[in-house]
Amino acid sequence: MLTIENLHAQVDGKAILNGIDLDVKAGEVHAIMGPNGSGKSTLSSVIAGNEDYEVTQGKLLLKGNDLAELDAEERAHLGIFLSFQYPVEIPGVTVTNFIKTAINANRKAQGLEEMPASDLLKKIREKAKLLEIDSKFLSRSLNEGFSGGEKKRNEIFQMAMLEPALSILDETDSGLDIDALKIVANGVNKLKGKHNAVVVITHYQRLLDYIVPDFVHVLFDGKIVKSGTKELAHELEKKGYDWIKELA
Amino acid sequence: MAYTEEELKKELETKEYEYGFYTDIESDTFPVGLNEDVIRKISEKKEEPEWMTQWRLEAYENFKEMTEPEWANVNYKKPDLQAISYYSAPKTKPKYESLDEVDPELLNTFDKLGISLEEQKKLAGVAVDIVIDSVSVATTFKETLAEKGIVFCSISEAIQKHPELVKKYIGTVIPPKDNYYAALNSAVFTDGSFCYIPKGVRCPMELSTYFRINQAGTGQFERTLVIADESSYVSYLEGCTAPSRDENQLHAAVVELIAMDDAEIKYSTVQNWYPGDKDGKGGVFNFVTKRGLCHTRSKISWTQVETGSAVTWKYPSCILKGDHSIGEFYSIAVTNNYQQADTGTKMVHLGKNTRSTIISKGISAGKSQNSYRGLVQVGARAKNARNFSQCDSLLMGNDCGAHTFPYIEAKSNSAQIEHEATTSKIGEDQIFYCNQRGIDTEKAIALIVNGFSKEVLNKLPMEFAVEAQKLLEISLEGSVG
C-alpha cells in the first residue's frame, strides 16, 4: 500500500526527517510513536502533500504510484486520508455540504457522476450512526465552535464517508475523553478491512488499547529507531522514551 | 504540483471576463454631448408629455450647478459627460408578440447570458422585462400580472399609460437635486422599469429585469420606480451583465421604492458589469442612487451581490418614516484586480419603533479596494429605534484592501444601535485542509467564500442564489495568496 524509502524532508531549511523507511501493506495497522519533536506530524504532512514541507531525498509510493509529483488533492484522489491533529474551521460551510463537496470532487477525479442526493443522505445517516453523531451536528459550520472531541469525531466521520485506502490518524486521541476515544476507535475498527490500511500517529499508548496495531515504530530525530509489535507500545508506556534516545 | 502563489496570480491575471461579447444589432444613437437640446430630443423620442420634459429640464438646471462628489474611497478619471451619447435604441422592431419576431442575434445574446427567454418563460413565476440599451424589447407574463392589477412595464411606457402614478411619485424619494448623478439621471434617463402593486395584492411571481449596456460609448441611465400600495407585497430582481469595452462606461441609475402602509418590497440585485482587465483598464463606472421610503409598518429589504464594475459607488438606503417600519440591507461586494467598491447603506430612522438590519460582506482580492460605508441615523422623534449592523471583510492575498466607515448619528436616547465587524483572510491551512479531502484550490476558495457569504446568499430568491454563487466563483477564480 504505502512504501517509504529513505525519506528526507525539511521545513524552512531545517531537516526534520532524516531517512525514513516504512512499508505498510493492505489490511495492516501501523502505529508510529515517539517523543514530541521527533517528526511524527511532519511525516503525516509530507505523505499528505503539504507544500510547506520539502522532500529532499527518498521516495514515497502509494499502491506503486510515485507521490512526488502529485499535489495534495491528487494524493487524496488516490486514497490518502489525513485525520488532522488540528482540524481547521470553515465558517458558513456545513459538515454536510463539506463532505458532499469532498465526495463529489473525488468521484469527479475518478470519472464518476456526482453521488445522487438520496445515496449521499443514506450514507451520511449510516456513518453518523456508526460514530454516534447527532443529525444537528451535521448542519453546523465545519469545526466552528466544535469541542476537541467533536472535531476529532468529525475527522473520523469524514474518513468513514470517503473510505480511503490509507488513513493517517495524526494524534487523533489528543483532546478526547475516554468515551469519545472509544467511539472513535470503534469507528476506525469497523472501517478497517483487507483493502485498506491505517497509520496511527500517537504520543501515548492509550489509543492503541482500542485500535490494536500490527506493527509499532518508534520515531526519534526523524528516523525510525525501533520497530516491533504492540508489545513495544506497552514497553514505551512503562519505560518512557529516554531509553529510545540512546538507540539513536 | 499544487498551486503556488505565483501560478495563482498568473491565472488570476489571465482570467477573462466571461460575459465579454458584443451584439451586433443596428442602433439608433444620438451624437455625443449633453445640453438642453439633447434632453428635449430624448423626451421627444419617448413621446413624453410636457410636464416630463419640464421635469427633466429642471433637473438639468440643478445638475449644472452641482459638482461630482469626491468623498468616496475610490480613485478614477472623471468621465467626460460631453463625450457620451445619451440615447441609443435598437433599430429593429422594438416590441414583440412572440419570440419568433425577435432578432436572432438578440436571442443569441440571451443564450450567452444563460437567460434564454425560452428558459425564462418556462421558469414559472418569473416575469422578465429585458432592457437592452435603452428600450425594453421583450416583456413576458404581462397578462397574468394585469389580472391582479399589477403594472410592470418600462418607465417610458408608464409615463405614457400611467402618467398620474409616475407624476405623483417620481422624484419623491430621490429628488432630482439629491446628488450629482441622481440629477444627471433625472435629466437624461432613457429607460428603466416601473412597477405598481395595488392595495392588498401579493405579487404572485418574482419580477425580474435584466439590464445590459450594449452600445460602445453610451452611458446608461435607468430609472426604476417601484410602488407597493397598502398591504401589498412584491419581490423584484435586477441582474446585470455587460460586454467588454476598452473605454469606461458610465452607469448612473436611480431606483426609488415606495412602500405604503403595511406593504413589503424585496429588491434583489446581482451586478456583474465588466470590471476592467487585469491592469485596471476599462470597466464600468457604477454610480447608483437607490433609496426606499417606508410608511407605517412597512418593510423594505435590499439584497445585493456586487461582483462587477471598475468603480462602484452605491448605497441602497431606507427612510423609515412610518412608525414600526423595517429596513434591511444584505450585501456581498466582491472586488478583484483593480476594482474599487465603496458601497453600503443608509438607514434613516424617523418613525417610532423602527428597526433596521445591515449585513455586509466584503471580499477583496488582487489589488482591489473594498469599502463599506454606512450611516445609521436616528431622529429625535424615533423612539425605541433599533439597529443591528454586521460588517465582515474577507481578504485574499496581500495587495488588496478592506475598509469600513460606519457612521452613527443618534438624536434619541432610547435608540439601540449595535455594530459588529470582523476581518479575516483565507488561510493556506484552510486550503490545504480542503485539498487533503480531494477538493482543488479553486473549488476550495469557492466553498470558503460561499460559506462567508451565506447569510446574504440565503436572502436571495432561489433562482438568483444559484446564479449569484456562480458569479462569486467566476469573479474570484484563482485569487488566493
> Does B70 fall in a domain?
yes
Q: Which residues of A touch B455 (CB under 8 A)?
A: 92
The confidence score (pLDDT) of residue B91 equals 53
Lowest-confidence range among A26-35, A118-127, B127-136?
Answer: B127-136
Q: Which residues of A touch B439 (CB under 8 A)?
A: 73, 101-102, 105
The confidence score (pLDDT) of residue B471 equals 77
* Most confident of the following: B29-33, B200-204, B318-322, B398-402: B318-322
pLDDT at B94 over 70: no
Asked if B451 has any chain A CB less than 8 Å from its own CB, the reply is yes
pLDDT at B245 over 70: no
The confidence score (pLDDT) of residue B378 equals 97
The confidence score (pLDDT) of residue B58 equals 96
The confidence score (pLDDT) of residue B460 equals 86
Q: What is the pLDDT of residues B20-72, one digit of tens each?
A: 545 555 567 777 888 999 999 999 988 999 999 999 999 999 999 999 888 88
Asked if B435 has any chain A CB less than 8 Å from its own CB, the reply is yes
3-state helix/strand/coil string of chain B: CCCCHHHHHHHHHHCCCCCCCCCCCCEEECCCCCCHHHHHHHHHHCCCCHHHHHHHHHHHHHHHCCCCCCCCCCCCCCCCHHHCECCEEECCCCCCCCHHHCCHHHHHHHHHCCCCHHHHHHCCCEEEEEEECCEEEEECCHHHHHHCCCEEEEHHHHHHHCHHHHHHHCCCCCCCCCCHHHHHHHHHCCECEEEEECCCCECCCEEEEEEECCCCCECECEEEEEEECCCCEEEEEEEEECCCCCCCEEECCEEEEEECCCCEEEEEEEEECCCCCCCCCCCEEEEEEEEEEECCCCEEEEEEEECCCCEEEECCEEEECCCCCEEEEEEEEEECCCCEEEEEEEEEECCCCCEEEEEEEEEECCCCEEEEEEEEEECCCCCCCEEEEEEEEEECCCCCEEEEEEEEEECCCCCEEEEEEEEEECCHHHHHHHHHCCCCHHHHHHHHHHHHHHHHHCCCCHHHHHHHHHHHHHHHCCCCC
Q: Give this prediction's pTM.
A: 0.81
Residues of chain A with pLDDT > 70, as a percent, come to: 100
Asked if B427 has any chain A CB less than 8 Å from its own CB, the reply is yes
Interface-testing mutation among B3, B436, B443, B473, with chain A (most A C-beta atoms within 10 A): B436
Q: Of A50, A52, A73, which has the smallest distance from its Cβ to B439's Cβ?
A: A73
pLDDT at A146 over 90: yes
Lowest-confidence range among A138-142, A207-211, B63-67, B71-75?
Answer: B71-75
The more confidently predicted of residues B414 and B102 is B414
Q: What is the mean pLDDT of residues B299-312?
A: 92
Shortest distance, CA A66 to any CA of chain B (angstroms): 13
Q: Which residues of B touch A82 (CB under 8 A)?
A: 436
> Does B298 fall in a domain?
yes
Domain hosting residue B216, numbered range: 5-476
Give the pLDDT band of residue B76 (cuts 50, 70, 90): confident
The confidence score (pLDDT) of residue B89 equals 66
Shortest distance, CA A225 to any CA of chain B (angstroms): 29
The more confidently predicted of residues B217 and A39 is A39
Q: What is the mean pLDDT of residues B315-323?
A: 97
The confidence score (pLDDT) of residue B101 equals 56
Q: What is the pLDDT of residues A175-197, one digit of tens each?
A: 888 888 999 999 999 999 999 99
Q: What nine digits make up the cell of B149?
A: 392589477
The confidence score (pLDDT) of residue B93 equals 40
Q: Which residues of A touch B451 (CB under 8 A)?
A: 90-93, 141-142
Q: Of B438, B451, B452, which has the smallest distance from its Cβ to A77's Cβ?
A: B438
The confidence score (pLDDT) of residue B134 equals 42
Q: Which residues of B touch A73 (CB under 8 A)?
A: 2, 435-436, 438-441
Asked if B394 has any chain A CB less than 8 Å from its own CB, the reply is no
Q: What nine digits make up the cell of A224?
A: 525510525
Give the pLDDT band of residue B137 (cuts 50, 70, 90): very low
> Per CATH, is A2-247 categorized as 3.40.50.300?
yes
Q: Of A71, A76, A105, which has the smallest distance from its Cβ to B443's Cβ?
A: A105
Give the pLDDT band of residue B126 (cuts 50, 70, 90): very low
Q: With an 8 Å Cβ cutoff, are B435 and A72 in contact?
A: yes
Q: Which residues of B touch A141 (CB under 8 A)?
A: 451
Q: What is the mean pLDDT of residues B227-235?
A: 97
The confidence score (pLDDT) of residue B212 equals 43
The confidence score (pLDDT) of residue B124 equals 32
- The nearest alpha carbon in chain A to B458 belongs to A92
pLDDT at B305 over 70: yes
Mean pLDDT score of chain B, rounded to an integer? 82
Q: With an 8 Å Cβ cutoff, are A82 and B440 in contact?
A: no
Interface-testing mutation among B433, B445, B455, with chain A (most A C-beta atoms within 10 A): B433
- Among candidates A183, A226, A173, which has minimal Cα distance to A203? A173
Give the pLDDT band of residue B219 (cuts 50, 70, 90): low
Q: With an 8 Å Cβ cutoff, are B437 and A50 in contact?
A: no
A-B CB pairs within 8 A amount to 83
Q: What is the mean pLDDT of residues B74-92?
A: 77
Lowest-confidence range among A201-205, B32-36, B309-313, B462-466?
Answer: B462-466
pLDDT at B301 over 60: yes
Q: What is the mean pLDDT of residues B140-167?
A: 86
Sequence ranges of the domains in chain A? 2-247
Q: What is the pLDDT of residues B256-280, one digit of tens each?
A: 999 999 999 999 988 888 888 888 8
Q: Which residues of A touch B4 (CB under 8 A)?
A: 51
Q: Of A51, A77, A141, which has the smallest distance from its Cβ to B2's Cβ?
A: A51
Residues of chain B with pLDDT > 70, as a percent, come to: 78
Asked if B454 has any chain A CB less than 8 Å from its own CB, the reply is yes
The more confidently predicted of residues B22 and A200 is A200
Mean pLDDT score of chain A, rounded to an integer? 93
The confidence score (pLDDT) of residue B217 equals 45
pLDDT at B77 over 90: no
Number of domains in chain B: 1
Shortest distance, CA B453 to any CA of chain A (angstroms): 8
Q: Of A73, A81, A162, which has the smallest distance from its Cβ to B435's Cβ?
A: A73
> Does B481 fall in a domain?
no
The confidence score (pLDDT) of residue B472 equals 81
Q: Of B438, B448, B452, which has the smallest distance from its Cβ to A106's Cβ?
A: B438
Residues of A engaging B, defined by a Cβ cutoff of 8 Å = 48-52, 69, 71-73, 75-77, 80-82, 84, 87-93, 97-98, 101-102, 105-106, 109, 141-142, 158, 162
The confidence score (pLDDT) of residue A194 equals 93
